[in-house]
Copies of this chain bind each other. A is one copy, B any other.
Amino acid sequence: MASTEKDKGNRRVTIREVAEDAGVSVAAVSKVLRDAYGVSDTLRAKVRQSMDALGYRPLAAARGMRGQTYTIGLVLPDIRNPFFSDIMTGVNNALERTQYRALIGISQSSATGEMAIVEAMIDRQMDGIILIGATEDRANLDAIAARKPLVAVGHHEPDITTFDTVNNNDQQGGQLVVRQMVAAGYKRIAMIGLKSTTSTILAEREIGYRRGMIEAGLGSAINIVQESQTLRDVQITARRMLQAPNRPDAIFCWTDFIALEVISVATELGLRIPEDVGIAGYDNTVYCDFAQNGLSSIDQSGELLGLQATRLLIERIQGRSQAEHFVVPPRLVIRRSTSPG
């Protein structure tokens, strides 16, 4: 039987046993557990001691039946991008001295996958959800927010009132990249974006790119190519762009991962970086240092984003109902890939 398999060894200590050991009521123990008010110091001390002595650990699932599970869900599009690791570090730091724990679900970069994992998290009584790089449309996000406290990281919607958002200023980020490329002498600067109708960060980065081009008097050279994220598609796109008659002399890629792939295609075609073509990415992941001569990229302070998102979420769980929108300024890290001569 499954039960014999699962119940092996140490049976769990329950709140009742702690209560008996301390000679108090179950309700009293519960109060100590939740740091609720209305408990005397002596009672609290007795209970704490019994909890330690018995090695008591509250069962989150049971707590969730009436109250909270002290669990927050983090939804990531995929796990491949090391940038998410920075966010995760921030989340864990924010949770350090709390009873909350973060558990991650992977949406496999699809809207249906994302909705499925969110539903699964709600079924599991998570207290709140942090959505990274949401691919949902606004209606779905609202539906989620109506059921659980929600914070979206990497989703611009500053007028929304039902959930919080945490972002770097993607528009400014795009603009910073173009400005530096222009300063470095590049003229035919193209951008590789993502084919997506819901990604607001993409849209913002594109606006920033356009702004940068226009302010440099390069409006007529604006060239945005939108592709899927699969390695194969990126390769095809990059090859086509770099073999075109009037090929770009610089490419701003919306994320490092894409930029690395473009670098490898360019190298294959015999183009030198940064002399023949300059390349920049976004996220400033560890791999930027590993790219042949270093990949210029935008740092969006992932750790800070994760920290803020977590703080906001816990505030929401504890009752705040008006929306907050946090934005951190981006920082361009210039490396060899956009520094010719």
Contact = CB atoms under 8 A, between A and B. Distances in A.
Interface of A: 1-2, 4-6, 8-10, 57-62, 64-65, 68-69, 71, 73, 78-80, 82, 84-85, 88-89, 92, 101-106, 108, 117, 119-120, 123-125, 127, 146-149, 231, 260-261, 263-264, 267, 286-287, 289-292, 316-321
7 contacts: A5-B320, A61-B65, A62-B65, A79-B79, A79-B84, A103-B105, A264-B290
A147 B213 CA distance: 61
A124 B84 contact: no
B146 A120 contact: no
A60 B292 contact: no
Contacts of A59: 123, 125
Contacts of A58: 123
Contacts of A316: 5
B260 A290 contact: yes
A291 B5 CA distance: 47
Contacts of A108: 89, 92
Contacts of A65: 61-62, 65
A316 B8 CA distance: 13
A289 B264 contact: yes
Contacts of A102: 105
Contact of A286 (B69, B148, B231): B231
Given A65-B62, A101-B120, A260-B287, A318 B2 contact: yes
Contact of A92 (B61, B106, B321): B106
A263 B293 CA distance: 11
Contacts of A8: 146-147
Contacts of A78: 85
A10 B143 CA distance: 9
Nearest to A124: B60
A118 to B, nearest CB: 11
A62 B125 CA distance: 9
Contacts of A9: 146-147
Contact of A149 (B5, B231, B287): B5
Nearest to A89: B108
B286 A80 contact: yes
Contacts of A319: 1-2, 4-5
